[in-house]
Amino acid sequence: MRLSWIRGRELRFAAVTAWLAWLTAYAPAQTNLVGYWNPLFHEDVDERIPGPSIGDYLGLPISDAARLRAEAWDASLLSMPEHQCKPHPSTYGFRGVGVLRIWEDRDDDTQQLVKIHTHIAWQEQHREIWMDGRPHPPEYAQHTWQGFSTGSWDGDVLVVKTTHLKAGWMRRNGLPLSDRATMTDRFHRYGDIMTHVMIVEDPVYLTEPLVKTNGFLLQPAGTMTPYPCEPVVEVVREPGFVPHYLPGKNPFLDEFGEHYGLPREATRGGAATALPEFAETLR
């Protein structure tokens, strides 16, 4: 074949076309997570539906600093206009209420996956998971409720790494997470069931990674309604007042343990309270 007629443009076109064909043929194993998913509340229902009791830190690997912060927390904080419309951080949102919707952005020309979106109805928690290999921004970049997330595939399991989180919470009874927290979460799909696994690390408020799992059920005819939130003055307070308890002054810390007959060394949490041998100490 004579090659003299081949010009640079043709070569570049052919090379790009071949590369795209190769990408398509060798895309890593993936699973389709797109759709509407209802959270299953067969686990931790007390924490996730009505809300956890004050002073319930059972099984959580919290530091002393986390315990101190939680003991100063007053639920009246949530009635302040500044706090009424806060979404959950991504380190908690998958445990909360509300339908989860997942969809994809694909490049129009290559059909390669660029981004996966997750959106949870309550307070419109919208998360972007970049799948295009971009790096995380420098530490000084803005921290947000959902953070900055990149994804990859471990076989057919979506694995997401999240950084740049605002200071948030690990439980809705004042147990905090710092803005140094990071999360790795995994999406395992088994037919119409999805197991979401989250591994949260926080050098400030956790003594070891916190691992939690959340179940979801696919809704083939799912829908989602908007969740507008407009803060209002619910309680007239003196300017500058923030509901809180000073150390040692929270009168509600022992109510939970007393109600269920659990000792304080259990309800105050810590990594040791999650181990089987701790159960033996309760007998």
Partner 1 sequence: MSAARLSLALAVVASVLAADVALAQPAPARPTPPASPREAAPIDLTGQWVAIVNEDWRWRMVTPPKGDYASVPLNDEGRRVADQWDVSQDGHCEAYGAGALLRMPTRLRIRWDGAARLVLETDAGRQIRNFDFGAQAPAGARSLQGQSAAKWVTPPRNPGGPGLAGAGGGPASNGGYLEVKTSNLSPGWLRRNGVPYSEDAAVTEYFARFAAPNGAEWLIVTTIVDDPRYLTQRFVVSNHFRKEAEGGHWNPRACGGGA
- Kindly identify the residues of this chain, within the stretch 201-260, that bind partner 1 according to CB under 8 A: 201, 208-213, 215, 217, 260
Site for partner 1 in 79-108 (CB under 8 A): 107
- Nearer to partner 1 by Cβ, of 86 and 186: the residue is 186
User: Would you mind telling me the total number of residues written for the chain in this entry?
Assistant: 283
Residue 274 binds to partner 1 (criterion: CB under 8 A)? yes
Question: Shortest gap between Cβ of 59 and partner 1 (angstroms)?
Answer: 3
Question: Shortest gap between Cβ of 42 and partner 1 (angstroms)?
Answer: 5
Extended strands (E) in the chain: 35-40, 100-106, 113-120, 125-130, 148-154, 157-163, 168-169, 176-177, 182-190, 193-201, 210-219
Distance CA 89, CA 57 (A): 19
Distance CA 92, CA 185 (A): 11
Question: Shortest gap between Cβ of 72 and partner 1 (angstroms)?
Answer: 23
Question: Shortest gap between Cβ of 130 and partner 1 (angstroms)?
Answer: 6
DSSP, res 15: H
From 52, 55, 147, 151, residue interacting with partner 1 (rule: CB under 8 A): 151
Q: What's the burial of 224, exposed, middle or buried (CB within 10 Å: 0-12/13-18/19+)?
A: middle
Question: Shortest gap between Cβ of 70 and partner 1 (angstroms)?
Answer: 15
Q: What angle do CA 6, 9, 14 make, to 5 degrees?
A: 80
- Nearer to partner 1 by Cβ, of 77 and 152: the residue is 152
From 38, 76, 79, 195, residue interacting with partner 1 (rule: CB under 8 A): 195
Site for partner 1 in 165-184 (CB under 8 A): 182, 184
Site for partner 1 in 106-145 (CB under 8 A): 107, 110, 112-114, 130-134
- What torsion do the CA atoms of 253, 258, 260, 266 make, to the nearest 10 degrees? 60
3-state helix, strand, coil in the chain (%, to 5): 25, 25, 50
From 72, 105, 153, 222, residue interacting with partner 1 (rule: CB under 8 A): 153
Question: Shortest gap between Cβ of 55 and partner 1 (angstroms)?
Answer: 13
Nearest to 61 by CA among 214, 273, 256, 280: 273
Segments in the chain forming alpha helices (H): 8-25, 45-48, 64-71, 81-84, 255-260, 264-267, 276-281
Distance CA 80, CA 76 (A): 7
From 146, 150, 173, 250, residue interacting with partner 1 (rule: CB under 8 A): 150
Distance CA 104, CA 130 (A): 10
- Nearer to partner 1 by Cβ, of 80 and 157: the residue is 157
Site for partner 1 in 41-70 (CB under 8 A): 41-46, 58-61
- Nearer to partner 1 by Cβ, of 2 and 226: the residue is 2
Question: Shortest gap between Cβ of 152 and partner 1 (angstroms)?
Answer: 4
